[in-house]
Every structure is written in structure tokens, then in C-alpha cells.
Amino acid sequence: MKNKMRFLTVGMLSGLVLFLASCSGTKVTSSWKEPEVSIPADQKILVMALVSDREGSLRGSMEKEMVAALRQKGYNAVSSYTEFGPHALKGLNEQKAMNKIRRSDADQVLTIVMLDKSKEKNYVPGGGFYRPFPMYYGRFWPYYSSMYSRIYEPGYYTTNTKYFLESNLYNLKDKQLLYSVQTETFDPSSAARMAVVYSQQVVKDMTKQQLISKR
């Protein structure tokens, strides 16, 4: 019985790890592309992130990783932070801002905006399990021993963070929107890792939408 219980416990922990892993990371929640539009690889894309200063280095990481992901596809992408500095467009009107951007010889601008950041507080019962497992309900002892640890072992609280981001691609010639994508990121391990995964997911969706080439 002890060996059986140990096997079941290990199996449950493995399932929990897989369950949590499936919930983490970044996923595209919606995207749109102007029909019949594709971006030639010889055009220059300016990547511009709008992220609160409270997020530290996230802006630089986002622009850097998006530039890297687009360059892997053969596109001439550049970071606005590198081109203009942290507050190059601050205080400018539309005409002056657009003139400054056009002097960079960019054909398109890809924005990255943090729409929202929320925190969720969750209680983890003693024993480390988030939810009941039906496999324990068929017999008394497996159910009782599982519930005992939940009731009599102290639990704790965890805080999970969700980031909601949006990217828009504009054609600078006519100022028209060509592509828009929204994503949700759950509890990233670090800002740097979030930037990597976000950029990969967005570029993957852009390729899927046939906005950019599959190179």
C-alpha cells in the first residue's frame, strides 16, 4: 500500500508540474491582418515599445528580442531605443515625430504596448496540490490520506502575474494599420525571458498570417 501511495503521489506531482507548465508562457489571444498585404524583406521595420518606466529594462528587452526575431526572418529591423534613445519623441507633435521617424529610413513601425498587468493571489493547500484529483475519490483510504494532508498541513499563498500586450504594424507611407496582435503572458520567470517568448510568438503569428516570409 505504501509503495502504491508513493507511486500515486509521484504521478500526481508530475501531473501538477505538467499542468502548471501548460499554463505558463505567452499565447496569442487574437490577431488581425489587412487582407492581401505582405511585407517585402528589403523594407526596414522600426520596433518601438511603449512600456512604463516602472518595468525597468523591459522596454529595451522587448525591442531587442523583437528585432532579433525579425532579423532571423531576413528583415531589416531596428530598435527605436537604439535609434533615438529612451525619450526621443517625447513632447513632439505628430508632424515632427513622423519626420524624425522617417529620417531613420524606416518603411514600417511595429509598436509593442503593455495594455495591462494584473496580479492574482491563490491559496495553495498543504501538500502542494491546487485542486482535487478524481483518481482519489473511488476508495476511502486514498481519499482520506490525501484530504488529511490538505487539512492538517499548513498552506500558503502564491501570487501570479499576467501581462497583456498588443503589437501593431503601421505602414509609414500612408500611416495605415497593417497588422494587430494581442497576447497574454502568465507568470514569466523574468522580463528577459518574457521578451524572448513574446517576440517568438508574435513573429510566428505574423508568419502564419503570411504577413512576413517563412524564411
Q: How far apart are CA 204 and CA 181, in angstroms?
A: 11
99-158 pLDDT per residue, tens: 888 888 999 999 988 887 776 665 555 554 444 444 444 556 666 666 566 555 666 566
Phi-psi sector, 78: left (phi>0), alpha (psi -120 to 50), beta: beta
pTM beyond cutoff 0.75: no
DSSP code string of 30-44: EEEE-TT----TTSE
CA distance 47 to 55: 18
Domains by residue range for the chain, with CATH: 25-122+158-208 (3.40.50.10610)
d(CA 194, CA 137): 39
Q: Could you read off the pLDDT of 54-108 as tens digits, one per residue? A: 766 788 899 999 999 999 999 999 999 889 887 778 888 888 888 888 888 999 9
